[in-house]
Amino acid sequence: MGSYWKSFNDTITMHVGMSPFVKQADVVEKLKTLVGKGISFNVEERAFLDTISDKIANTFNAADATLVKLVRIQQADTTAARLGMESALTAFLNSMYETSEYMTDAAESVRANLYEASALMTAQKATAFEYQVQKWMGSLYSVGFSNTSGLSTALGKLAAGDISSINDGGFGNLLLMSANRANLSMADILADGLDESNTNKLMQAMVEYLGQIYAETKNSKVVAQQFANVYGLTASDLKAAANLYGSTKTISNNNMGTADMMRRLSSMASSMLMRTGSAEMIDNLFGNLNYATASTMGNSPALYTTYLLADMLEDVTGNGIALPFINTFFGGIDLHTSVSQLMKLGTLGVGVLGGIGKMLVGMAGGNGTGSGMLRGFGVTQGIKTLSRGTGTGLTTLMEDFSESGYVGNSDSSDVQNATTTAAEDQGQEQLNAAQDDNEVTMKMVDDHIVEIVTLLQKVSTDSALKVEIENTEI
């Protein structure tokens, strides 16, 4: 029954807080993008993960078309696990081949080619299955294989039970020969699909088989090309597979399930300090303080109205009603300020204190660290599943609130139509509050002027007090 924006904003302020690694404004911008696409399930967590991905796996995109489709069909959000997966894949490829170009050039299309197979699995099995495929495709690509798209398409069809994957020749022939070499039943694969274990065995057998063909045909380019053509490949693809021939066991032994992906994410989040420069951390800290201050003011009608009134006062008077120059026996005092400036100072002070309060609460809960922020947004070892709504009470909800909004006007541009009595009452309350704040501010100014004048009068008759004031830094 409250404001979704206020809830989102409070969550971000609380859990990002004074973090030197992430700007709250950046998380809000990601949130805006996701909400603009119509995404609302687990949206704060997904926006946060998309923001920190630059420090974990900069090729990751929480709004990837295949990923958001999988979230819908599986009714579970695997964004966190897939961020951990992408980080692990990048590290694996860099460690093995000193290149992770695959993550930029081909990983997204391979994921899309596996959609049908992944959609028919549970969220946990789909992430483990995709890791196996991406690991092998990335390895092949990194040593020169050119047709990861075609091979992953055929593999995705096979895992989804699409019989055309083995009937179309080319890659179908390759899958049949590889399954036979790995001692896997093609009939069982078509009926039951592929899990991560069988996928790993099938891909290892395939790479070793292609490498063996290259070794037997490399002395004749014509023969090599003819053999490769039978499987929808080129002779250079055979050579690329041969490049992996001595590494297939190492690749096969590299496995990762959903829990491993989540642990990888937590570990990388905890080590963001190593990937964040000092200047960036300082910039983030000040950015978060500014955002929290502006957020506190923007979400408070009284504070924001007071600030706007101060602006209006400056526009109308030109100087915001400058405080007068005070003449005394010893000379004059000029405070060099105005009523409008004091009003702004008061609202900014409240904004700063309000923002710092929320952030300190978050820091006390450990949210200043990468892993602490993950916990704050609900990223744990498990995968969040969607809770289905009831779809009831919508009519009652609309009847409980008066209508307000924007209407078109044929004589001008859109004009805000505030038609509810509640809205009028609220506006009057805000105006009254702003006027009260103004009166309090003016009274404070008057009181301070009286104190200054009284003090100066005492100085003229009390030599000891005069000496004390002269030796005091004001």
**Domain ends where: 273, 300, 331?**
273
Q: Is 291 in the same domain as 267?
A: no
Q: Is 255 in the same domain as 333?
A: no
Q: Is 374 in the same domain as 298?
A: yes
User: What pLDDT is attached to residue 369?
Assistant: 77
**Residue 240 lies inside a defined structural domain of this protein:** yes
**Residue 394 lies inside a defined structural domain of this protein:** no
Q: What is the pLDDT of residues 415-430, one digit of tens each?
A: 223 323 333 444 444 4
Q: Is 212 in the same domain as 246?
A: yes
- Number of folded domains in the chain? 2
Q: What is the pLDDT of residues 444-470, one digit of tens each?
A: 545 555 555 565 555 555 555 455 545
Q: Is 325 in the same domain as 352?
A: yes
Please give the average per-residue pLDDT across 342-362, as a whole number. 59
**Domain ends where: 222, 247, 273?**
273
**Strand blocks (E) in 69-202:** 76-77
**Secondary structure class of 384 (helix, strand, coil):** strand
**Residue 285 lies inside a defined structural domain of this protein:** yes
Strand partners, 332: 327
Q: Is 263 in the same domain as 169?
A: yes
Owning domain of residue 235: 56-273
Q: In which region does residue 38 sit, left (phi positive, over 0), alpha (psi from -120 to 50) or beta (all else)?
A: left
User: What pLDDT is attached to residue 301?
Assistant: 67
**Residue 350 lies inside a defined structural domain of this protein:** yes
CA distances for 238 relative to 42, 56, 147, 250, angstroms = 44, 34, 11, 20
Q: What is the pLDDT of residues 68-104, one digit of tens each?
A: 999 999 999 999 999 999 999 999 999 999 999 999 9
Q: Is 248 in the same domain as 363?
A: no
Q: What is the pLDDT of residues 148-192, one digit of tens each?
A: 999 999 999 999 999 998 887 899 999 999 999 999 999 999 999
Q: Is 333 in the same domain as 288?
A: yes
Residues 6+ apart with CB under 8 A from 377: 11, 15, 44, 45, 48, 49
**Residue 457 lies inside a defined structural domain of this protein:** yes
**Domain ends where: 258, 273, 288?**
273
Q: In whole angstroms, give the CA distance from residue 51 to residue 40.
A: 17
Q: Is 195 in the same domain as 281?
A: no
Q: In whole angstroms, give the CA distance from residue 258 to residue 264.
A: 10
* Model confidence at 206: pLDDT above 90: yes
Q: Is 200 in the same domain as 68?
A: yes
Q: In whole angstroms, give the CA distance from residue 118 to residue 103.
A: 19
Packed helices 4-16 and 43-52: angle between N→C axes, nearest 10 degrees = 40
Q: Is 299 in the same domain as 374?
A: yes
Q: In whole angstroms, give the CA distance from residue 438 to residue 310.
A: 9
What radius of gyration do the chain's Cα atoms show? Answer: 33
Residues 6+ apart with CB under 8 A from 71: 41, 77, 78, 79
**Residue 409 lies inside a defined structural domain of this protein:** no
**Residue 293 lies inside a defined structural domain of this protein:** yes
Question: Do residues 122 and 74 touch, judged by C-beta distance below 8 A?
Answer: yes
Q: What is the pLDDT of residues 260-276, one digit of tens each?
A: 999 999 999 999 888 88
Quote the percentage of the chain above a pLDDT of 70: 66
**Residue 10 lies inside a defined structural domain of this protein:** no
Q: Is 191 in the same domain as 325?
A: no
* Model confidence at 341: pLDDT above 80: no
Strand partners, 76: 385
pTM of the model: 0.74
